[in-house]
Structure 1
């Protein structure tokens, strides 16, 4: 099977796709991953097609503020989204896949798949697309709205409407017009552990909660920084990790607010509890002032989560689902400091399920609040270890691949009983431009 995977975003958006690409290729499939540049993910050994966009540069230039994104929509955000939306069409024409596996930001994939007459599979990295009554869409509200929870999932569709012009351009690349309604995904995959989220009873059967996606090379490979592969551990980090109890702190790509104030709060809180501190500065979310450095504080750009987190007494992070699952799989209690999007959702969910202390919003982060969270973390350790044990028996990447392998070539004639998807699977190869010579 020829599988094209297309993703968009920063490290947390690329890592799961890289893990699935490796697993599929190792199983004999022909796989190509279309991805942004400079994601920080080790893509060694994967057939990668650059989308020619850099989400890390966008974050470094404007931070992660939604207001900044709206101010820079025309000059910064729209060009990046155009690269993803239109680039996916070019990648599909070049590769001619049998199926496309896609990130929700790649809004053009349904029409691309329909133009090629092939199925497509949505990867819902966080629950924001498939409606349920059981909880609200991640990134909207943190408390349940009961029967109104389903309405919160309309936000994703509204955001997609902002880039109709780019989707029209992708349709032009494919030699078709943008349809009023494209086909639904043949399947929707959520690379999330059931130990963290229980599958809602009202999800369709085509929606599969697979478990986290990890690399088949080693668990660490999908988490390692591109500059520090898991096979070449950072010996200075390793020495610090083995030097006694410590707290890990890293906010990934969350460059916002005052990183120095956060660094100061982290150091003061760790010292108040008699703990050492390992800081990963990421894209600039934390900065430790020189006067606070010492033998008990180690600062680096990034770390291999799989090598570090199992040894930490607690992990302070932004609450992205990738880091949430890495900490949980390591049996390490998370102290979540949410910034934007789905992060407050995960912070509230873990606390509600007894898997971590209450989240501390980044604007309210203080040394006293952090020290209190560190003091309370041991109370959640047993529950987190139990969740880690459940996760150790999951094979999320394998389950995702099994779903892909079960897909059959769709019939060229759409079934009459499904008017919503009428024409969706009709083969249009004669209308699609041939691959350039």
Structure 2
């Protein structure tokens, strides 16, 4: 089959698609992966096409503030989304496909699938469009509304309305086809972490996380440094991925101080700039690096402090490591609540009111979750979400 994978966003939005592309390519499919620029994901050996959008630059320009995003909508957000919406349409025309597998940010995917006569598979790294009474749509309200939870899923239609102009441009490029409905919605989420709602349609599939097969490029020197550090004692890892809003030095300092009080060392992953440590607080018990594989780090640390991105949250559970989640925006509060509900994370911490005392209390609470994390980890690790997703795509 010719598969066209379309994704947009930060690293956590690209990594699952790269894992699926590798598995599909390994199994003999002709795969094109359309991606944003500078995601930081290893794409070696894959046939990729650039959308011409740089989400790292967009975040650098406005941070993660919704208010700032609205202020910069015309100058930053709209051009980025135009690149995604129209760029994906051009890639579709250039490459063709029997099946289109698309991230929800690629709003033109239904038009692309219709123009190509391809099956469309929608992908949601977090539930946002499939209504259920069991929980509100991620990124909407932070509390259960009971029977009214279903209403929160109407928010997803707002994005299409905001980018009507760009969608119309993509449709003209494609020849004006009527958008095609998705054959199925694939959610790269473990059902061990998020039990399937009883009121979901049969077309919604919790496949399990999409993770690689270990054939990606490896930074052997960097990995050796991290591995040597992790062998020297119990460790707390601190990293916030692409989240860079606020004071990264203050965040890193709070967790370094709290870890030291408990005799723990700290591995700080800068990511896109969300965590760092002031020079005066560094020492032999602190290692600061730009980044490292979660699958390498999380199994070897005692607590994982992170922002609660979908991929990061599931990687911590898969490793059997308890979490401290400091959510910033969007779906991250959803994952913070979900991990806490599974008994594998401390209560979420507010990034705006982060202190050494609060960081320390959360580390203590997470350490008390170790038994439950150790029980759940092997169950999640045994899942083959990537393979399950590919089976569903192949079945059409």
TM-score, structure 2 length as denominator? 0.97
Write out aligned runs for 1:5-404 (5 A).
Answer: 5-176=5-176, 179=178, 182-218=179-215, 221=216, 229=218, 233-404=222-393
Q: State the 1:140 CA deviation.
A: 1.1
Q: Give the secondary-structure state (helix, strand or coil) at the position aligned to 2:208.
A: coil
Partners of 1:7 and 1:156 in 2: CA distance: 17
Deviation at 1:230, TM superposition (A): 5.7
Whole-angstrom CA distance in 2 between matches of 1:240 and 1:347: 28
Matches within 5 A, 1:420-435: none
The Cα offsets for residues 126-169 of structure 1, whole Å up to 9 and x where unpaired, read as 11111111111011123211111011111111122100100001
Residues 202, 232 of structure 1: alpha-carbon distance in 2 compared, 3 angstrom cutoff:
farther
Deviations 1:30-82 (A, max 9, x none): 00000001100000111000111110111112111111111111111111100
Compared CA separation, residues 100 and 231, structure 1 to 2 (3 A): farther
SS at match of 1:347: helix
Deviation for aligned residue 1:234: 2.6
* 1:319, distance to aligned residue in structure 2 (A): 0.4
Q: CA deviation at 1:232?
A: 5.8
8 A contact 1:34–1:51 mirrored in 2: yes
Cα separation, 1, equivalents of 2:148 and 2:250: 39
Question: Deviations along 1:147-203, whole A, 9 cap, x unmatched?
Answer: 1101111111112210010000101111116x4xx3320010000011110011111
In structure 2, what is the Cα distance between the partners aligned to 1:58 and 1:354?
A: 35
Q: Given that residues 319 and 381 in structure 2 are in contact (C-alpha distance below 8 angstroms), is that contact kept between their aligned partners in structure 1?
A: no
Are 2:104 and 2:124, in contact at CA under 8 Å, matched by a contact in 1? yes
Q: Deviations over 1:324-382 (max 9, x none)?
A: 01111111101000010011111112212322110002112111011111122232111
How far apart are residue 389 of structure 1 and its match?
1.4
> In the comparison of the two structures, how many residue pairs are matched?
396
- Distance apart, 1:231 and its partner CA: 5.8
Between the aligned partners of 1:176 and 1:341, the Cα distance in structure 2 is: 32
Judged with a 3 Å threshold, the aligned counterparts in structure 2 of structure 1 residues 14 and 152 are, in CA distance, closer, same or farther, namely same
**1:304–1:134 CA distance, 2 compared to 1 (3 A):** same
SS in 1 for 2:32: strand
Give yes or no for contact 1:273–1:374 (8 Å, CA) kept in 2: no
Taking structure 1 as the reference length, the TM-score comes to: 0.89
Asked if structure 2 preserves the Cα contact closer than 8 Å seen for 1:230 and 1:304, the reply is no
Q: 2 CA distance for matches of 1:342 and 1:321?
A: 8
Partner of 1:428: none
* Higher radius of gyration, 1 or 2: 1
Q: What is the SS of the residue equivalent to 2:369?
A: helix
- Quick one: distance in 1 between partners of 2:222 and 2:285? 20
**Which structure is higher in RCO with an 8 Å CA cutoff and minimum separation 6?**
1
CA distance in 2, matches of 1:274, 1:392: 29
Task: Show structure 1 runs of 5+ residues with no match.
Answer: 222-227, 408-437
Counterpart contact for 2:2–2:29, Cα < 8 Å: yes
- Displacement, 1:387? 1.3
Name stretches of at least 5 consecutive residues in structure 2 with no aligned partner. none
